[in-house]
Structures are given as C-alpha cells and as structure tokens.
A and B are shown apart, each in its own frame.
Chain A
Amino acid sequence: MSNERIDLPQGTLDLLILKTLALGAQHGWAVSERIQQISSDVLRIQQGSLYPALHRLERRGWIKAKWGASENNRRAKYYELTKSGRKQLEAEETAWQKLIAAVGQVLETA
C-alpha cells in the first residue's frame, strides 16, 4: 500500500464510475472497492462522494439502477451502463486520452 495517494482531478470520478460499470452491473460499495483496487490504492476517493455522483449519472440517463440480490442474498442497488452511458464513456475516454497525450507532450518537450 503506497502512502502517496493523490486526489482525483475534478470531473474524473464520473469517468471512473462509467468505466467500472462497463464491466458489468455493480452496487455502490463494489464500485468503490474496485476503483480502489485497480488503481492500486493510489487514488483517494472519499467513499461518500461516490453516491452523489451515481445519482447524478442516473439522472442524466447514463446509468440505470435496479434493486437485486447480492452474493450473500442481501438486497442491493445495482447500477448498470445504459446505451447512452456507453457512448458517453467512449467520448470521455477519447477526451481523456487526448488530454493526457497533450499534457504529456508539453511536459516532455517544454
């Protein structure tokens, strides 16, 4: 576990959530665990901040929620990507790639 955690840049949480859900429907806790794991605990996300983001994405129609049973038969709210959410994910991914490429280039050459 690294001690050097970094704060998430503004607006990237939505992208991470969409990407996480692209692998399949998940409930909130699982999404947070997954982001934590995949990023090797580098990204520091206040777990609570996940939920407003989820609700916002739901309102925009990029993800939808339904109640289902979880692994140990507990009721849980599952979120999954919608069709427009998938498109949004692609668009945001492309934008993100462009951004880091551009930033990288500046950092290398300047």
Chain B
Amino acid sequence: MLSDLLYRLRALSRRKSMEAELDEELRAHLERQVEKYIQSGQTREEAARRARLDFGGLEQVKEECRDARGVNLVETLIQDVRYGLRMLAKNPAFTAVAVLTLALGIGANTAIFTLVDAVMLKSLPVANPQELYRVGNDDNCCVIGGFQGNWGIYSYSLYQQFREHTPEFSQMAAFQGGLGDLSVRRGGASRPAEAYAGEFVSGNYFTMFGISASAGRLIAPADDRPGAPPVAVMSYRAWQQHFGFDPSVIGATFIINTMPFTVAGIAPPGFFGDTLRSDPPDFWLSLSTEPALNGQYSVLNHADMHWLYIIGRLKPGAQPASVQSELTAEVQHWQGAQPDLTAQNRSELGKQHIVLAPGGGGVARLQADSTMGLRLLMAISGLVLLIACANIANLMLARGAARRTETAIRTALGAPRRRLIRQMLTESVLLAVLAGATGLLVAWSGARAILEIAFRGASYVPISPNPSLPVLGFAFAVSLVTGIIFGVAPAWVASRCDPAEALRGAGRSTHDRSSLPRKSLVVLQVALSEVLLIGAGLLTQTLRNLENQKFGFETQGRIIVRVDPTLAAYKPEQLYALYQQLRQRLTQIPGVLSAAYSLYSPMQDENWATDIPIEGRPSDERDNASFDRVSPHYFETIGTRLLRGRVITEEDTPTSPQVAVINQTFARKYLPNQDPIGKHLGFLKPSEFEIVGVVEDAKYMDARGPAYPTFFLPFLQTAKDPKLSWLERSQYMGDIELRVAGRPENLNAEVRRTLAGIDPNLTVLDMKSLSEQVAQNFNQERLAARLTELFGALALILACVGLYGVTAYSVARRTNEIGIRMALGADRKSVLALVLRGALGLIVLGLAIGIPAALAGGRVLASLLYGVKGWDPLTLGLGAVALALCALVAAFVPARRGTKVDPIIALRYE
C-alpha cells in the first residue's frame, strides 16, 4: 500500500521524464515490429501500417498506461480544477448568480438553524442536563397570588414543602421568576451606583446545576440561612466587562441597593443562569438576603406570594410521571391547608395541578415564546433553499444544454465519458465550495442581524451568532448534492448521445431533452415564490395592524423613564416629598408638555394582578383584576381618554378619601348594567376605594388580546392594615411618563440632568420613547415580517431569473423557427405572442400550484396573524398580480429580442 503510494507520487513528480520514457518505450516497440515486417519482405509503408494496426491506438494506450500508473487521478483532478476555474471565470454572470443563489440559501439556513439550535436544542451549560426537571411548565411571572390551575411559580413556603416531601429529587433549587434591578457600587469606590440585573437563588442552586466557580466560590446552602453573612456571585461576563477580570473583586464588599454584600466568587464563563434570555443576571444573591434587601416589601415569607421557579435533579430511576402526580397531590394538599380559603377556592382545589417538564434547557420562556416564530423561520429558509436549489439546477441544465456542442466535440476527439462527467462534477463542486465560503459570511451576518431584530432593546444576548458546524455541514451538503446532480445529469445525457448526431444537430435541433425539467423547475419556483410573497404580505400586515392598532394610549411624542426609588433606599414616608417635586420639576423642562409617573407604564410587559372583592358582587367571591398606581395627569400624559367621572388629580392625597379609576372592561365585566361611579372595591374589603371615573381600555400587557380588567389607584393611598404590607411595594413608582413636543431623543440629557438634580441616587435604569417600548413587544413579529419580506423578494428575483433563462434559452433555440415564421409572413406581434404564451403558461401553472399552497400556509400561520385572515383575498390577489407582472417582464425582455431577429440571418444561423 505504501509502496503503491510512493510509486504514484514518484510518477507524479517525475511526470515529464516518465512521459518521455513511455514515449520511447512504445516507439521502440513499433520500430521492432516494423523491422520484423520489413524483414519478412514488406515495403516500409506497408510494414508501418501493419505495425500500427497490430498495436492499436497509440494515444489510447498511452492514456491507459497513465491510468495504470495511477498518475491520472491526481493529475486530471488538477487539470479539471484548472479548467473548471477557467470556465467559471469565463462566465462571470453565471458564476455570480449561481454562487450568490447558493450562498444565500446556505447562509440563510445556517443562520436560522444556528438560532434554532441555540434556542430550542441546546441544553444549559451545566452537568448532566438531561436529569433536570422543572416543576411546572407555565411561565406565570413574576409575583402572583391565588390559584394558578396549571402551576408554574411558587412561594418560598411551597418550595420548602416540595423540597422536603419529594424524595425522588436529589436536589431541588428555587430561583426568582423575574430578574430584579440592582443598584451596585463597589465598597469604598467613588463611582456612582450602576444598574445591574440580579436574581435571588436558593443556596443549593449552583450545587443542583453541578457547576463550579471560575474564581472564588459559589453560593452554598450555608449562605442561604437567616443571619448568614450576605454573599453574591458575579457573572463571568460582568467580571470581564465591568471589572476587567480584577482578581481583587473576589472577597470584596459591594454595596447592593445600599446593603453590603461580599462577592464570594465568579460563575463559570458561559453560564447565563436558569433561563436563556436577553440581559441575564449579573449577580446571584441567596434567597435568605431577600427580606433584608427588599425590606418590608419582601415576599420570601409570604406563603401566598408566588415568585419562585423550581428546577430539580431527579434521582436515577425516578419516574417523571409518578413524580408529577405526587407534586400535584402536594400542591393540592398544601393549598387546602391554607387559611382564608373561599368556597370558590375549595371547589377549584381539585383542578390545581403541576406538570413536570424537562428542565435541561432551563426555564423554557424564550423557547415557549419563540417556538412558533422559529418554526416559521425554518419553513421559510427551507423554502428559500429549495428555490435556490431549483435555480442552480436550472442554471446547470441550461449550461449543460448550451455546452452540448462542446461535449460532442470532446467525445468525438476521444474523451472518455467518465472523464467528461468528472469534469462537470469538478465544476459543480467548485461552485458549491465557493458558495459555501460565501454562505458562511451570509450565515454569520444573518444570524447577527436576526439576533438584533429579535432582541431589540437588549444590551446582551447569550446566543452566539457563530454557525454550529453540523448545521453548516448540512446546508453545505444539500447544496453540494444539488450542484452535483444537476451538473452531472446534463453531462451524462450529452455524453451518451452519438457525437456525430450531436454535432450535426448542434444549435439547430428543436428537440430539447432538458426542456421539461427546466420548465418544471420554473413552475416550482413561481409556486414557492407565491407562497413566500403571500406569507410576507400576511405577516407584514399583522405587524402593521399590531403596531398601529388602537392601544388606548398615544405612542407618539411620549418618553418613558424607568426608575426605582427603592434602589436609592427611599422609605415610604419619603415618597410624598419626592413625588411632590418630581412632576413640578419635570414639567419645567422646555419641550415637556406634561409629566406623570406610575407603577407600570403601558406595554411594558409587567403586570400586577390580584383577586379583589368588589361592592355588589356576591360576598365571598373575589374577582381577578390588574392594578396600577398612577399620578395626577397620568391619563392625559399617555393619551388615554376619560369616559365617565373624573381622573386622579392633585386633590387625591394620602389623607383624602381613597379613590379608584377603572377601565371599561372592568366596568363591563364586574359591574355590568349599572353606573360604576360611586361603587367601591378594595384589597381586603369591598369598601376601601370609591370608583370615581371610567377610562377607555388601554393595553398594558397583551397586544393581541383585549385589555385586562384594570383599576388605577393614586399613589400613597392604602388602608393601614398589616395584612396589606405587601402592597407597600406598589407605592414606589416604576416609570415616569413625559409628553413632549418635538423628537423625544432630544430631551434625553435634560431629563437625566433634572432627575439627578432632584436626587443623584435616583438611577435612570432605562429611557426610551413609548413607541419604542411598544415596538419592543413585537420583536418576533417584526423579525418574521422582515425575513419573509426579504426572502419573498429573493424568491421573486430568483423565479424571474429562472423564467428569463428559460425564455431566453427557448428564443435562442427557436431562432431558426422564428426566422422561418417571419419569412412566411408572421409579424413581430404574433412572434412575441408565440414566445410569451409559453412563459405565461408556466406562470399560470406556477400560480395554480402556488395559491392553494399559500392558502394552506395561511392556515398554518393563522395563530400568528392579527387583524388579517389567512385567506385574505387582497393579499392573495396582490401577491399573484405582483408575481405575474414581474415574471411577465422577465419573459418579455428575451421575447422581444426574439422578434428583432432578421429572418435572413436567422435562416442562415448555423
């Protein structure tokens, strides 16, 4: 084997001399044979002729000798590559179109599968993720009370219950459902506090995940006890980006929300916590520090406040199904033992259940949110790859046909068939390699662009845009196979036919073997483009409908400033003074027309819902409603109209009568067929707040659904009842709203300056226009719309290129026929009609397949659409007309060229 290889290599390196030797050897043979015949009395000519006859074809023998020596394989490969590159360079238009088409197909697929892989398939970077299970599969967030039905979020008390009574788990850890804002300053440093994301986790959180610190140590169960010194774990990324890997950070004291913590260590690189999300935690704090950090607004010791997600590691051999029913029994038992259960609660006890979900991917919030979107993306990119492959196939077939004369000549000159095919194969592979390299670039920038659109507003997303290798390999293989099949097939067909026949008929034959497959491919392209175009139309309309819907507030000319006075350690009694000057100072900024503040602002993706008693409703029954605290002029500032009664004003002070404003849905749902003004509602008793006004419905959380029943309360009005201490948290504003003249961005610096003037510790967590805040709710929809638009346009262009190619090719082939027709008296119009009829047939056939397919696609899309039906006739019609027009133009250009043919020249052609 080795000697064989050495022989081949030597043969290759000494090619010139070996070639000379071969020449000499064969010539010597012939000379001897000639001599032999001369000696037997023949003339020299006769002898030479017979010797050559005896010997056979000299060149053929030489080629066989080269083959036998094994030089040929490598040598012809080099030749083929060289020739292939020359051919590609000679047809730059063909090469560019083919490479770009394939690159886009490969790139788009690679980009999207990279994201699918990261979001849906990858496990958390922890030990044995397949052993992890999440208790519950619903992403109820972030602090809720009452029954959940399908449970997903739990109080600390419930977590303890599960941890102690479910022995099938070797470890069970709890962590905060939603991240909290932290205001962090290094102890002794003069820099002002900065905003970070933080998460409370149980002491066994890191042990449960089975990960170890990259520096220092992680939080241990001993840190999660009341009275233990407060420690924090910093993320690797925060350590890198904010502290430059400073080793002195470990063990240093950090002031987090005015409370000193020791940074025990750094989490491993790549660990982003329990949930794949944008802006993951920078600090992990133990649950035991929550009461001290959140003070009287702590939820840790409220058995009825559910705010923790639970993930556990099942012991080997434990049956998830039986653990699930065990947990369901536990939650029912626990719930049944709670005080203050209403009769309604008791009747619903049996419906409470828990689903045990695989937890290796962490809390599947992003997965749940984006599954549909990602599936859609996969479908779209698959379609584009199909279209790209169809285009490549078409180009290859056209070129194969165009090169029939060349193939025939080469066959006539003695080129073996497999050599011809190998040549074509080499060219196809070259194309695919070029496209693969370009596709890599497309994939990388594509994935980055998609991440940017998908996570608009995020400063960091723990998803790498680098394409995963298997994904890239797959896309590359698909394109390679396409290139090979459609590159080799025409060569095979061409090489099979009799060269004499081919040469005689070259360029003149009306019979075209590749015409049917080419036409079918164009029909397929038209159909697929139609599907994509209509999909793009539907999704674009959905996005437009969502963004331009009647929200119940004005999105233009509004600024939202996110702040949190608790981070600056405001006590409840200090709030009144803060609020008093806040509005006044902000209104003084030139350009600010009105200013307000609230607990939540519209479409901010946060919600506080609770069960409340309402006057006039059956006693012992509670109704679930969302609530918000708002300042005077709030509704006017965000542009929500008052329908009845009055809004909250400066007269509603902590000491004035307690009032509430409700929205329309609240009135319709809970106080139907009566005047809600003057009725009462409350948290404990249905008499705490008097309803003084009704405002129009505005959407705060779910842009697709109707507004939630909501009641608005003034700040600092609450019954003094120790049972309501959890409600104190709602006294702190979360957002400041400004109605401004001119561009909202222009006021950025002035607003920050004014707030710092009121209190330098009042950290601005975020500032953006309300329209941007709304827009960030539609990241997925925008992504889907933009990508289908892009891909739809791409598909349209590809289909047109395909149709252009087919028409141009058929015109070229029929030059002769057209010439005869015109010579016999056909005018240009009828020739044009003749050519266009063919193209129109393809378009109509494509649409006939594409429209039903688009209708089926619309059915699949139905759940993603908003304000438009999957079978929207306008979209369908516009898509079909647009496609038909573009395609007709693509066919018209070469068809018109056909009519310009001079009959005399056409007849003389070839």
> A interface vs B, CB < 8 Å?
27-29, 32, 46-49, 51-53, 55-56, 58-61, 67, 74-77
Q: Is the CB of B29 within 8 A of A55?
A: no
Q: Is the CB of B69 within 8 A of A59?
A: yes
Q: Is the CB of B61 within 8 A of A29?
A: no
Q: Is the CB of B54 within 8 A of A47?
A: yes
Task: Flag the segment in B20-28, B695-703, B819-827 that touches A.
Answer: B20-28
Residue from A47, A48, A58 whose CB has the most chain B CB atoms within 10 Å: A48
- Chain B residue numbers with a CB within 8 Å of A76 are 28
Known: A51-B65, A56-B68. A46 touches B28 (CB 8 A): no
- 17 A-B residue pairs with CB within 8 Å: A27-B28, A28-B29, A32-B29, A47-B33, A47-B56, A48-B56, A48-B57, A49-B64, A51-B65, A58-B69, A59-B68, A60-B4, A61-B3, A61-B4, A77-B24, A77-B25, A77-B28
- Chain A's closest residue to B70 (CB) is A59
Q: Is the CB of A48 within 8 A of B28?
A: no
Interface check B7, CB cutoff 8 A: yes
Q: Is the CB of B61 within 8 A of A49?
A: yes
> Mostly helix, strand, loop or mixed at chain B's interface?
helix
Interface check B32, CB cutoff 8 A: yes
- Chain B residue numbers with a CB within 8 Å of A59 are 4, 7-8, 68-70
Interface check B872, CB cutoff 8 A: no
Question: 12 extra interchain contacts, Cβ-Cβ under 8 A, other than A47-B54, A52-B64, A75-B24?
Answer: A29-B29, A32-B29, A47-B29, A48-B56, A48-B61, A51-B25, A51-B26, A53-B68, A55-B69, A61-B4, A74-B28, A76-B28
> B interface vs A, CB < 8 Å?
3-4, 7-8, 21, 24-26, 28-29, 32-33, 54-58, 60-61, 64-65, 67-70
A49 CB contact (under 8 Å) in B24, B33, B56, B67: B56
- Chain A's closest residue to B69 (CB) is A55
In the complex, A61 Cα to B70 Cα: how many Å? 13
With both chains docked as a complex, state the minimum distance between the C-beta of B58 and any C-beta of chain A, in angstroms: 7
Known: A55-B65, A59-B69. A48 touches B58 (CB 8 A): yes
Q: Is the CB of B28 within 8 A of A29?
A: yes
- Chain A residue numbers with a CB within 8 Å of B57 are 48
- Chain B residue numbers with a CB within 8 Å of A46 are 54-56
A52 CB contact (under 8 Å) in B29, B54, B58, B68: B68
> Mostly helix, strand, loop or mixed at chain A's interface?
helix
- Chain A residue numbers with a CB within 8 Å of B54 are 46-47
In the complex, A55 Cα to B64 Cα: how many Å? 9
In the complex, A23 Cα to B21 Cα: how many Å? 25
- Chain B residue numbers with a CB within 8 Å of A77 are 21, 24-25, 28
- Chain A residue numbers with a CB within 8 Å of B65 are 51-52, 55
In the complex, A27 Cα to B29 Cα: how many Å? 9
- Chain B's closest residue to A53 (CB) is B68
- Chain A residue numbers with a CB within 8 Å of B26 are 51
- Chain A's closest residue to B54 (CB) is A47
**Which 7 A/B pairs are nearest by Cβ-Cβ distance?**
A48-B56, A52-B64, A48-B61, A55-B68, A56-B68, A52-B68, A29-B32
With both chains docked as a complex, state the minimum distance between the C-beta of B20 and any C-beta of chain A, in angstroms: 12
In the complex, A67 Cα to B65 Cα: how many Å? 18
Q: Is the CB of B24 within 8 A of A51?
A: no
With both chains docked as a complex, state the minimum distance between the C-beta of A38 and any C-beta of chain B, in angstroms: 17
- Chain A residue numbers with a CB within 8 Å of B25 are 28, 51, 77
With both chains docked as a complex, state the minimum distance between the C-beta of A81 and any C-beta of chain B, in angstroms: 16
- Chain A residue numbers with a CB within 8 Å of B24 are 75, 77
B60 CB contact (under 8 Å) in A29, A48, A61: A48
With both chains docked as a complex, state the minimum distance between the C-beta of A68 and any C-beta of chain B, in angstroms: 12
- Chain A residue numbers with a CB within 8 Å of B64 are 49, 51-52
In the complex, A53 Cα to B67 Cα: how many Å? 10
In the complex, A51 Cα to B26 Cα: how many Å? 8
With both chains docked as a complex, state the minimum distance between the C-beta of A43 and any C-beta of chain B, in angstroms: 14
Residue from B29, B54, B56 whose CB has the most chain A CB atoms within 10 Å: B29
- Chain B residue numbers with a CB within 8 Å of A67 are 21
In the complex, A96 Cα to B58 Cα: how many Å? 31
- Chain B's closest residue to A46 (CB) is B56
In the complex, A91 Cα to B677 Cα: how many Å? 111
In the complex, A55 Cα to B22 Cα: how many Å? 10
- Chain A residue numbers with a CB within 8 Å of B55 are 46-48
With both chains docked as a complex, state the minimum distance between the C-beta of B539 and any C-beta of chain A, in angstroms: 63
In the complex, A2 Cα to B437 Cα: how many Å? 66
Q: Is the CB of B56 within 8 A of A52?
A: no
In the complex, A7 Cα to B57 Cα: how many Å? 18
With both chains docked as a complex, state the minimum distance between the C-beta of B74 and any C-beta of chain A, in angstroms: 14
In the complex, A60 Cα to B28 Cα: how many Å? 24
- Chain B's closest residue to A77 (CB) is B25
With both chains docked as a complex, state the minimum distance between the C-beta of A48 and any C-beta of chain B, in angstroms: 4
Residue from B7, B33, B57, B68 whose CB has the most chain A CB atoms within 10 Å: B68
In the complex, A99 Cα to B219 Cα: how many Å? 81
In the complex, A32 Cα to B25 Cα: how many Å? 13
In the complex, A29 Cα to B3 Cα: how many Å? 27
- Chain B residue numbers with a CB within 8 Å of A61 are 3-4, 7
In the complex, A94 Cα to B483 Cα: how many Å? 49
- Chain A residue numbers with a CB within 8 Å of B67 are 52
- Chain B's closest residue to A49 (CB) is B56
